[in-house]
């Protein structure tokens, strides 16, 4: 899909990867970008093509309103995400698993349900920013992994449902990106600018499941070659 002239909606557009995507979409000639933020005011203003939209993706009412005001959409980037860095059993944050599932799975699903009708009419694409931890559980972040794994399966289902309507659905599975979310993760981390380019390259490429960065690609190869050996290695991290 061509980026020039597209009408995009990016969630979590105020910082991290989302802010980078917003900037790059404008640079690449997007006609309009709806910038989803939980609180208006966090965006650098200026470009008249940016339409700030107050939206918490777990709030169905807000999501429905946003979709009814964005019927010209051709590209949805579900970027908003939550990582509470918790294991699954011995947690110090008993609500983490539910909160991550609400944002990463149900929030993304809310967006896809609400915006699919416009995309079916206009044609276009959805990109879901998932994580390599959708494919493996890093013990210290296993509850995040579960929510991203659920979102990966949901994305596969939506891809099949939307294929007959000329709507492409892409999963992007990054390794660590250099944002606030991974501030406690040791390097190497993918610079935001590189991550942004990889997301937009996915849109122009042909793969529907894209592994971003060396770590994600190594894990994907490890899973294909010897799943058990890879899991044993991850247990030591």
Ligand X SMILES: NC(=O)c1ccc[n+]([C@@H]2O[C@H](COP(=O)([O-])OP(=O)(O)OC[C@H]3O[C@@H](n4cnc5c(N)ncnc54)[C@H](OP(=O)(O)O)[C@@H]3O)[C@@H](O)[C@H]2O)c1
Kind plus residue range of the DSSP H or E element containing 52 = strand 50-54
Which one of 6-14, 158-166, 197-205, 226-234 is the stretch in contact with ligand X (CB under 6 A)? 6-14
Cβ 146 to ligand X, closest distance in Å?
Answer: 13
In the complex, least distance from residue 5 CB atom to ligand X, rounded to whole angstroms: 25
In angstroms, give the least distance from the CB of 63 to ligand X.
9
Q: How many CB atoms lie within 10 A of CB 197?
A: 14
In 3D, which of 219, 159, 199 has the Cα closest to residue 12?
199
Collect all residues with Cβ–Cβ distance below 8 Å to 145 and sequence separation of at least 6.
Answer: 131, 133, 134, 136, 137, 138
Measured in whole angstroms, the distance separating CA 195 from the mean position of its chain's CA atoms is 12
From the list 44-52, 63-71, 73-81, 111-119, the region that binds ligand X by CB under 6 A is 73-81
**H or E, element range at 196:** helix 192-204
Size of the residue set binding ligand X (CB under 6 A): 27
Among the residue ranges 50-58, 69-77, 116-124, 199-207, the one whose residues contact ligand X (CB under 6 A): 50-58
Question: Per CB under 6 A, does 58 bind ligand X?
Answer: yes
| 17 lies in the site for ligand X, by CB under 6 A | yes
Given the complex with ligand X, which of 4 and 191 has the nearer CB atom? 191
- Cα distance between residue 229 and residue 122, in whole Å: 45
| Distance in Å, CB of 230 to ligand X, minimum | 18
- Helices 227-235 and 214-225 cross at an angle (nearest 10°) of 130
Q: Which stretch binds ligand X (CB under 6 A): 1-9, 51-59, 90-98, 110-118?
A: 51-59
Which listed residue (9, 81, 135, 152) binds ligand X by CB under 6 A? 81
């Amino acid at each position: 899909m061509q980026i020039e002239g597209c009408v995009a909606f990016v969630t979590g557009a105020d910082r991290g990867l989302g802010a980078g995507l917003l900037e790059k979409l404008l640079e690449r000639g997007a006609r309009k970008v709806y910038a989803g933020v939980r609180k208006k005011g966090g965006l650098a203003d200026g470009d008249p093509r940016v339409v700030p939209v107050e939206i918490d993706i777990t709030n169905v009412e807000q999501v429905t309103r946003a979709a009814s005001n964005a019927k010209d959409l051709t590209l949805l980037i579900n970027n908003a995400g939550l990582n509470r860095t918790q294991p699954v059993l011995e947690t110090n944050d008993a609500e983490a698993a539910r909160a991550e599932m609400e944002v990463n799975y149900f929030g993304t699903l809310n967006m896809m349900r609400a915006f699919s009708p416009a995309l079916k009419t206009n044609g276009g694409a959805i990109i879901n920013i998932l994580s390599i931890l959708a494919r493996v559980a890093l013990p210290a972040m296993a509850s995040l992994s579960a929510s991203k794994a659920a979102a990966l399966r949901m994305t596969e289902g939506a891809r099949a449902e939307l294929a007959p309507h000329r709507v492409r659905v892409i999963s992007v599975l990054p390794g660590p990106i250099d944002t606030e979310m991974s501030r406690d993760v040791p390097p190497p981390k993918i610079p935001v600018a590189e991550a942004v380019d990889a997301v937009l390259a996915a849109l122009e490429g042909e793969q529907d499941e894209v592994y971003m960065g060396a770590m994600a690609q190594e894990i994907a190869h490890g899973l294909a070659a010897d799943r058990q050996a890879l899991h044993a290695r991850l247990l030591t991290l």
